[in-house]
């Protein structure tokens, strides 16, 4: 990644850290006149439009005597945590090639297509020969090249929450350590950048302000009690609890503030701002500031094992250049395999039929490598299924204090089913469509729904009949079904939940369940050291996050990423 892109990304990370509470999943900039002549003779700015993931995306393209000299992002409705990271990369590629016929940014395919199509439109406006842009438009294929090996102290494979935490933990423990982090996608932060909730956090400033005594008084012991039956070893629970106790302070040192505790260990950045965008911006900025050598578009392909010790990793980058990174310690943080249907069919048969809410890089690249080397694998068939993702966007939804599932006939379905049973119930409907429905009280009860309604993902209706019409389903039957439901709740009295509001507005969106995380993976001990099948430590090798067998989620990935980095750095002095 060159200095221009690094500087652009660093600026975006700073903006993300101080983002106001009104931040949303879109970028808004004033429109400009089309075209507008710049001050230099022959240089003209063209406003052009492409179709992205969220609809129209506008860019301002400066063309000077047939050369593309600048591309600025205009009004768009792309997911902010993607476009903020991807736009500097795709813009640089186009400017360097003087053409939109370049590789798309991995993990931002639709946004890349929109930018490339818009630039082609600007070229056409300028009277230049404009290439036809499709979703598969890519740059010229590069010949395979073998580069000389490089050497570092610590090599980290994976630039998600655990990989970035590992890099930071390593540099904070040993500032002189040479740390290389490779990430196969062109942008960092994995699925963490999308997450609303950061849970399993204790002793936070937000919990103290909320008077949450369970997790601010005797909180370490309470946390350990919570996790006693989780399936983690007592040693890992001990480390997990102690690290969770210090995690809020560690994040705040980076400028990451999680200021809203909405019960238990759950945290948002603010009452109306997702935690993930702030946490991941802070981790990325800190890793760069500490001097971590971050190489995006670089995939780990194998481990270098020498007499049972891990001594490095082989990689291949976007330029089709392969090389070995020799290292005293290697940390694998490549995530799970929710996006790999073949692995799902092998290890969790049946689950491969579902979509995933996880990011496209969760393909289990090191699963077979671990097995081939005789490492211990645990819980490979264990899955975490999220009950409702929006169709077709795949955003997580839900959380209202009351919501119902309804089908296209307007009939209420069982909302208690989970996992494969829930999926089978939904696909069994006449057209395979199921809708998540809530009311004004439900809308007020949970930020995620308010955000998605504001972004236009939900259909709305002042009455249930109007809602049915907006959804294209039987509104009359829907109203009858809700009336019958309300009568049942009234008959139950205090034993019931609550009735749907008698007056609108009402909200609904099409949903399906999805594979959210794979819970199995390579076994790692309390120091995040990878284990052989006999339980002995693999010298030189650490792992953290969803690539391991772990019972928690986002925060646990950050915790054991940090632990891996600290222990790997400490091992350098041994």
Pair 173, 320 in one domain:
yes
Pair 375, 416 in one domain:
no
What is the C-alpha to C-alpha distance for residues 57 and 48, in angstroms, rounded to an integer? Answer: 8
Helix axes 80-97, 275-289, angle to 10 degrees: 50
Pair 262, 216 in one domain:
yes
What phi and psi values does residue 372 have, to the nearest 5 degrees? -60, -25
Digitized pLDDT (tens) for each residue of the chain, 574 residues in all: 554 455 455 555 554 564 433 333 333 333 333 444 444 457 899 999 999 999 999 999 999 999 999 999 999 999 999 999 999 999 999 999 999 999 999 999 999 999 999 999 999 999 999 999 999 999 999 999 999 999 999 999 999 999 999 999 999 999 999 999 999 999 999 999 999 999 999 999 999 999 999 999 999 999 999 999 999 999 999 999 999 999 999 999 999 999 999 999 999 999 999 999 999 999 999 999 999 999 999 999 999 999 999 999 999 999 999 999 999 999 999 999 999 999 999 999 999 999 999 999 999 999 999 999 999 999 999 999 999 999 999 999 999 999 999 999 999 999 999 999 999 999 999 899 999 999 999 999 999 999 999 999 999 999 999 999 999 999 999 999 999 999 999 998 877 779 999 999 999 999 999 999 999 999 999 999 999 999 999 999 999 999 999 999 999 999 999 999 999 999 998 7
pLDDT for the residue numbered 495: 76
Pairing, β 43-52 against β 537-543: unpaired
Listed residues 273, 294, 313: the one ending a domain:
273
Unique residue bearing structure tokens 């205090």: 494
Unique residue bearing structure tokens 């942008």: 187
Range of the domain at 206: 197-273
Tokens standing for residue 258: 């999680």
Listed residues 93, 125, 157: the one ending a domain:
125
> Is residue 180 within 8 Å of residue 171, measured between CB atoms?
no
Domain assignment of residue 153, yes or no:
yes
Coil, strand or helix at 103: coil
Burial of 271 (0-12, 13-18, 19+ CB in 10 A): exposed
Domain assignment of residue 132, yes or no:
no
> Is residue 137 within 8 Å of residue 114, measured between CB atoms?
no
What is the C-alpha to C-alpha distance for residues 11 and 4, in angstroms, rounded to an integer? Answer: 11
Pair 408, 487 in one domain:
yes
> Is residue 104 within 8 Å of residue 360, measured between CB atoms?
no
DSSP 354-407: S-BSS-TT-S-TTHHHHHHTTB-EE-TT-EEEEEEEETTT--B----SS-EEEE
What is the C-alpha to C-alpha distance for residues 415 and 395, in angstroms, rounded to an integer? Answer: 19
Coil, strand or helix at 153: strand
pLDDT for the residue numbered 5: 54
Domain assignment of residue 278, yes or no:
no
Q: Residues 78, 83, 85, CA angle at the centre, nearest 5°? A: 160
What is the C-alpha to C-alpha distance for residues 549 and 382, in angstroms, rounded to an integer? Answer: 9
What is the C-alpha to C-alpha distance for residues 207 and 201, in angstroms, rounded to an integer? Answer: 9
What phi and psi values does residue 23 have, to the nearest 5 degrees? -60, 145
Domain harbouring 296, CATH code: 3.50.50.60
Domain harbouring 110, CATH code: 3.90.1010
> Is residue 405 within 8 Å of residue 436, measured between CB atoms?
yes
Domain harbouring 486, CATH code: 3.90.700.10
Please choose, from the candidates 455, 445, 448, 451, the residue with its C-alpha nearest in 3D space to the C-alpha of residue 501. Answer: 445
Could you tell me the maximum CA-CA distance found in the chain, to the nearest angstrom? Answer: 78
Residue partners of 345: CB distance under 8 A and separation at least 6: 352
Pair 169, 234 in one domain:
no
Pair 476, 525 in one domain:
no
Total domains in the fold of the chain: 4
What is the C-alpha to C-alpha distance for residues 190 and 360, in angstroms, rounded to an integer? Answer: 9
pLDDT for the residue numbered 14: 53
Pair 32, 119 in one domain:
yes
What is the C-alpha to C-alpha distance for residues 444 and 431, in angstroms, rounded to an integer? Answer: 31
What is the C-alpha to C-alpha distance for residues 275 and 269, in angstroms, rounded to an integer? Answer: 4
Domain assignment of residue 134, yes or no:
no
Pair 292, 182 in one domain:
yes
Tokens standing for residue 275: 């935690």
Listed residues 467, 483, 515: the one ending a domain:
515
What is the C-alpha to C-alpha distance for residues 366 and 349, in angstroms, rounded to an integer? Answer: 19
What is the C-alpha to C-alpha distance for residues 106 and 86, in angstroms, rounded to an integer? Answer: 9
Pair 541, 508 in one domain:
no
Pair 201, 242 in one domain:
yes
Pair 295, 159 in one domain:
yes
> Is residue 405 within 8 Å of residue 437, measured between CB atoms?
yes
DSSP 479-529: HHHHHHHHHHHHHHGGGS--PPPSS--EEEEEEEEEEEEE--EE-B-TT-E
How would you classify residue 460: left for phi > 0, otherwise alpha for psi between -120 and 50, otherwise beta? beta
What is the C-alpha to C-alpha distance for residues 262 and 271, in angstroms, rounded to an integer? Answer: 8
pTM over 0.85: yes
> Is residue 264 within 8 Å of residue 206, measured between CB atoms?
no
């Amino acid at each position: 990644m060159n200095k221009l892109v690094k500087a652009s990304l660093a600026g975006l990370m700073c903006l993300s850290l101080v983002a106001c509470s009104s931040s949303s999943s879109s970028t808004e900039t004033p429109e400009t006149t089309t075209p507008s002549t710049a001050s230099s003779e022959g240089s003209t700015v063209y406003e052009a439009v492409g179709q992205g993931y969220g609809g129209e995306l506008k860019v301002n393209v400066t063309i000077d005597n047939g050369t593309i000299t600048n591309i600025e992002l205009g009004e768009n409705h792309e997911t902010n945590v993607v476009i903020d990271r991807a736009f500097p990369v795709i813009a640089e590629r186009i400017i360097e090639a003087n053409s939109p016929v370049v590789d798309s940014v991995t993990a931002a395919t639709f946004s890349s297509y929109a930018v490339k199509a818009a630039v082609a439109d600007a070229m056409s406006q300028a009277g230049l020969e404009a290439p036809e842009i499709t979703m598969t438009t890519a740059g010229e294929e590069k010949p395979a090249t073998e580069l000389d090996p490089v050497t570092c102290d610590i090599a980290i494979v994976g630039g998600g929450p655990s990989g970035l935490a590992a890099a930071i933990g390593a540099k904070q423990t040993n500032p002189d350590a040479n740390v290389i982090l490779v990430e196969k996608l062109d942008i960092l932060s994995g699925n963490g950048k999308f997450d609303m909730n950061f849970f399993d956090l204790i002793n936070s400033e937000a919990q103290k302000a909320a008077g949450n005594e369970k997790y601010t008084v005797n909180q370490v012991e309470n946390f350990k009690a919570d996790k006693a039956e989780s399936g983690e070893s007592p040693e890992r629970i001990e480390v997990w609890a102690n690290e969770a106790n210090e995690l809020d302070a560690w994040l705040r040192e980076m400028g990451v503030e999680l200021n809203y505790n909405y019960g238990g260990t759950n945290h948002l950045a603010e009452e109306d701002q997702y935690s993930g965008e702030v946490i991941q911006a802070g981790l990325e900025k800190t890793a760069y500031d500490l001097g971590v050598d971050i190489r995006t578009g670089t995939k780990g392909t194998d481990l270098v094992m020498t007499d049972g010790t891990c001594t490095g990793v082989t990689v291949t980058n976007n330029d089709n250049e392969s090389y070995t990174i020799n290292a005293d310690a290697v940390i694998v943080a490549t995530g799970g395999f929710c996006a790999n249907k073949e692995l799902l069919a092998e290890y969790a048969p049946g689950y491969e039929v579902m979509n995933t809410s996880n990011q496209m890089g969760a393909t289990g690249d090191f699963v077979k490598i671990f097995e081939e080397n005789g490492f211990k694998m645990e819980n490979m068939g264990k899955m975490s299924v999220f009950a409702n993702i929006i169709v077709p966007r795949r955003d997580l939804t839900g959380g209202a204090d009351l919501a119902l599932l309804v089908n296209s006939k307007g009939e209420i379905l069982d909302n208690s089913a989970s996992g494969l049973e829930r999926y089978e119930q939904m696909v069994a409907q006449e057209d395979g469509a199921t809708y998540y429905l809530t009311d004004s009280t439900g809308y007020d009860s949970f930020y995620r729904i308010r955000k998605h309604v504001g972004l236009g993902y939900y259909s709305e209706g002042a009455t249930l009949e109007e809602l049915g019409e907006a959804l294209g389903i039987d509104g009359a039957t829907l109203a009858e079904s809700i009336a019958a439901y309300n009568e049942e709740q009234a008959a139950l009295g205090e034993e019931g939940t609550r009735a749907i509001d008698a007056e609108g507005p009402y909200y609904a969106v099409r949903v399906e369940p999805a594979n959210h995380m794979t819970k199995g993976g390579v076994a790692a001990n309390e120091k995040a050291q990878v284990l052989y099948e006999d339980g002995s430590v693999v010298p030189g090798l650490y792992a953290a996050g969803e690539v391991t067998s772990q019972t928690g989620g986002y925060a646990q990935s950050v915790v054991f990423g940090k632990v891996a980095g600290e222990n790997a750095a400490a091992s350098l002095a041994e």
